[in-house]
Amino acid sequence: MLKMTHLSKIYRTEVVETYALRDFSVNVEEGEFVAVMGPSGSGKTTFLTIAGLLESFDGGEYRLDGEDVSKLNDNARSKIRNEKIGFVFQSFNLIPDLNVFDNVDVPLRYRGFKARERAQRIHDALETVGLVSRMKHLPAQLSGGQQQRVAIARALAGSPRLLLADEPTGNLDSLMARQVLDLIESINDHGTTVVMVTHDPELARRAHRSVHVLDGQVMDLQAVSESSKDETPARA
Amino acid sequence: MFSYYMNLALRSLKHNPVLTVLMVLAIAVGIGASMTTLTVMHLLSGDPLPGKSTHLFYAQVHSDPDKHRDPLDMLDYRSAVDLWSAHRADRQTLIVDSAIKVRAPDKNLPPLMLQMLSTTTDFFPMFSVPFQYGRSWSADDDARHARVAVISSDLNDRLFNGADSVGQTLRLGDSDVRIVGVLAPWRPSPLFYDVRGGRFAAGDTASFYTAPQDVFTPFNTGLEINDGNFQQFTCWRVPETPGHLENSACVWIGLWVQLDNNAKVAAYRQFLADYAAQQKSLGRFEYTDTRLLSLMQWLDFNHVVPSDVRLQTWLAFAFLIICLFNTISLLLAKFLRRAGEIGVRRALGASRSAVFAQCLVEAGLIGLLGGIGGWLLTLIGLWLIRRQPIAYADLVHLDTGMFVLTFVLAIAASLLAGVLPALRASRVMPALQLKTL
């Protein structure tokens, strides 16, 4: 599903070049749930933004769903983001002026679905996260956990093949965090590939395997469950 | 997607009403100022006889023997009558304007000092002058100096309360004339047939937009009735009797001709040249320069649009540009304040062009609102102009074309102002925004 080979990302200023990712290689198979761990500044989020086609890279190769994405223009990248990728952010990133329905509607609008199909998908996604009754609420009227569930519904509504989550429970208390993670697990159970950046080893243990990033490089790959170890050879 | 973008734009404008009001005001004030002056400019520079002006020409010869300069703006009596009498055009008319005391002998009203146009019968059909009652006098009336007159609708209202006054008697100076026609309301802009000397007016040409004369008489009838009260355009010798110009060395009569095709125009130019050459051979002319300009060329030659109106128009557009720069700054601030939201939208699949389009729709909506404000301010501006003591004040109004242009200009201006901010917004780096949220 997601394969990066010897990828590098450099942030340049007039006087200094900083490698955010260096010789970064990782392979995530379809249907996997991979946790990406590492200390602050190690390059986890840079990896996630490149994986989500939100940022370009300087060297190496990145194939998403078998397609080399390095040469794609903005429209093509946007289309892939819209159709194949769902994002869940630590700070939810809901649009405060839009109610729950309209927030979930955002990616569907860019997809060009008709109103009836959009409404059905929004309803289904909100049903999945248990927030149909809050459809008309503004984000500010919801708790943190509810906001994150709306963000997950927004990511799910377009039926993405890949869900990228950046510290999805980072702003939640433990109860809410567990609920959100249950939800992500359930999404993965339905076949969606999940890549989740986290600091929390407890959360990472619930993934099929973990990728450790340090100084912009993949340091280790650990299978976290016997079953996944059997089914998925370790790669980095 | 347009309706979606419109919906987002409305939400965005409601979200920050102060900024919205500031932007709408900036556009509205700029549009109001520029549309007010542009409307005046449009009214003063338009074609007074659309569809007909291309066939109307003003004839000039060089009758001043002393100075070699451009043909004079008017004709001396002999040249005017010679050229008119030749009947070489499809239609031709002489005109001379003078002030005269007017009263209705049967009415107990004080006399009025009004402008009288002494002209020939072709004047009315040539210039499409509308009649409310009666008709113009005949060519025979011209020939026999008939004591008849056509009066304006305004004078008919004042003297006869708007009733059909055909057949009534009017006293012009000391002479009685019979009214044969009453004009329907008629307000050419400018008073094109009476335009002359504009290039010597130093831009002060507002008088070209006065209302038409109130009394029209056959050419020779007017000359007889008002003898001694005519003003020369210029003279190369002082007339023996002031105001009596028929045999003077002065130019004071205008000649308009109607020529319905190019061949006739060329033939008439040749006729004028031949006439000038003939007059030179007779010793009356020193120079043979002639000129035959079409109506619009003649107006252009006389710089009919007052220079202050042109200046105001330029200043108003400069002001609009300043307003647009303010709008650009405000839009830039507005869009970049939403960089976080734009980052989210980009992450969820919005392309740069989609973000650009969304921002531009918002700018266009601001333009539409600014257009409504600009339209109201334009109406106020024109109302204020109508209260000024200027000759064209009564002409000033917003026609359908200018009404539409108000909105077109407002939306176009705001879209123009929105391009740079929208471009900047579409270039927002989503990854950076999402990291900093």
Matching residue, tokens 């102009």: B385
Contact B347 A97 (CB under 8 A): no
B353 touches chain A (CB under 8 A): yes
Tell me the sheet residues that pair with A164.
Answer: A87, A195
Identify the CA nearest to A60 among candidates A2, A24, A7. A7
B23 touches chain A (CB under 8 A): no
Out of B4, B341, B348, the one facing A82 most closely (by C-beta) is B348
Helix or strand holding residue A220 (H, E): strand A217-223
Identify the CA nearest to B343 among candidates B422, B423, B435, B419. B435
Concatenated DSSP letters for A147-195?
Answer: HHHHHHHHHHHT--SEEEEESTTTTS-HHHHHHHHHHHHHHHHTT-EEE
pLDDT < 50: residue spans in chain B: 437
Interface subset of A 173-202, CB within 8 angstroms of B: none
Write the burial class of residue B415 (CB in 10 Å: 0-12 exposed, 13-18 middle, 19+ buried): middle
B9 touches chain A (CB under 8 A): no
Question: Residue A107's closest chain B neighbor by CA?
Answer: B348
- A99 contact residues in B (CB cutoff 8 A): none
Task: State the Cα–Cα distance between residues B6 and B359, nearest whole angstrom.
Answer: 10
CA B263 to chain centre: 29
pLDDT at A233 over 50: no
User: Residues 6 or more apart from A217 whose CB is under 8 A from it?
Assistant: A21, A22, A23, A24, A43
How confident is the model at residue B144, as a pLDDT?
A: 93
- A54 contact residues in B (CB cutoff 8 A): 346-347, 430-431, 434
A82 touches chain B (CB under 8 A): yes
Contact B430 A54 (CB under 8 A): yes
Contact B431 A55 (CB under 8 A): yes
**Distance (Å) from the alpha carbon of A105 to chain B's nearest alpha carbon:** 10
How confident is the model at residue B263, as a pLDDT?
A: 95
Out of B341, B347, B350, the one facing A87 most closely (by C-beta) is B347
B348 touches chain A (CB under 8 A): yes
A139 touches chain B (CB under 8 A): no
How confident is the model at residue B128, as a pLDDT?
A: 93
Task: State the Cα–Cα distance between residues A215 and B257, nearest whole angstrom.
Answer: 92
In Å, what is the CA distance from B260 to each residue of B46, B56, B83, B91, B198? 21, 8, 18, 9, 27
- CA torsion A73→A75→A80→A83, rounded to 10°? -170
Tokens of B278: 């003939």
A107 touches chain B (CB under 8 A): yes
pLDDT at A223 over 50: no
B15 touches chain A (CB under 8 A): yes
CA B321 to chain centre: 26
DSSP tag of A236:
-
User: Residues 6 or more apart from B367 whose CB is under 8 A from it?
Assistant: B27, B410, B411, B412, B413, B414, B415, B418
**Tens digit of pLDDT for each residue in B202-259?**
777 788 888 999 999 999 999 999 988 898 888 888 888 888 888 888 999 999 999 9
Contact A89 B429 (CB under 8 A): no
Say how many residues make up chain A.
236
Concatenated DSSP letters for A39-100?
Answer: -TTSSHHHHHHHHTTSS--SEEEEEETTEE-TT--HHHHHHHHHHHEEEE-TT----TTS-H
Tokens of B151: 């009066």
> How much is the average pLDDT of A143-167?
87
Out of B349, B429, B431, the one facing A111 most closely (by C-beta) is B349
A209 touches chain B (CB under 8 A): no
How confident is the model at residue B435, as a pLDDT?
A: 61
- CA torsion B299→B181→B76→B250, rounded to 10°? -90
> Is residue A213 classed as helix, strand or coil in its secondary structure?
strand
- B1 contact residues in A (CB cutoff 8 A): 109
Task: State the Cα–Cα distance between residues A190 and A212, nearest whole angstrom.
Answer: 26
Question: Residue A81's closest chain B neighbor by CA?
Answer: B349
pLDDT at A235 over 50: no
**Distance (Å) from the alpha carbon of B358 to chain A's nearest alpha carbon:** 12
- B341 contact residues in A (CB cutoff 8 A): 95
Q: Which of B434, B436, B437 to mutate to test the interface with A (most CBs of A within 10 A)?
A: B434
| pTM above threshold 0.90 | no
Out of B1, B11, B351, the one facing A75 most closely (by C-beta) is B351
- CA torsion A137→A142→A146→A150, rounded to 10°? 40
Matching residue, tokens 């008439």: B268
Q: What angle do CA A154, A159, A160 make, to 5 degrees?
A: 90
Could you tell me the pLDDT band of residue A220, with boundaries at 50, 70 and 90?
low
Q: Which of A44, A109, A163 to mutate to test the interface with B (most CBs of B within 10 A)?
A: A109
Matching residue, tokens 């939400």: B11
**Tens digit of pLDDT for each residue in A29-85?**
888 999 988 888 888 888 888 988 888 888 888 998 888 888 888 889 899 989 999
A54 touches chain B (CB under 8 A): yes
Tokens of B72: 């004079």
- A152 contact residues in B (CB cutoff 8 A): none
Q: Beta-carbon neighbour count of residue A29 at 10 Å?
A: 15
Sheet holding A59-64, edge to edge: A17-28, A2-12, A59-64, A67-68
DSSP tag of A133:
G
Task: State the Cα–Cα distance between residues B41 and B104, nearest whole angstrom.
Answer: 39
- A79 contact residues in B (CB cutoff 8 A): 349, 351
Q: Which of A54, A154, A167, A171 to mutate to test the interface with B (most CBs of B within 10 A)?
A: A54
**Distance (Å) from the alpha carbon of A81 to chain B's nearest alpha carbon:** 5
Question: Residue A92's closest chain B neighbor by CA?
Answer: B437
- A98 contact residues in B (CB cutoff 8 A): 11
How confident is the model at residue B94, as a pLDDT?
A: 96
Tokens of B204: 């002060």
Q: Return the amino acid letter for A42.
A: S
pLDDT at A221 over 80: no
A14 touches chain B (CB under 8 A): no
B59, B79 contact by CB (below 8 A): no
Contact A78 B437 (CB under 8 A): no
Identify the CA nearest to B177 among candidates B255, B100, B93, B81. B100
Q: Is the dihedral of CA B275, B280, B282, B283 positive or negative?
A: positive
When computed from its CA atoms, the radius of gyration of chain A, rounded to whole angstroms, is 18
Out of B352, B353, B434, the one facing A54 most closely (by C-beta) is B434
Question: Residue B349's closest chain A neighbor by CA?
Answer: A82
- A84 contact residues in B (CB cutoff 8 A): none
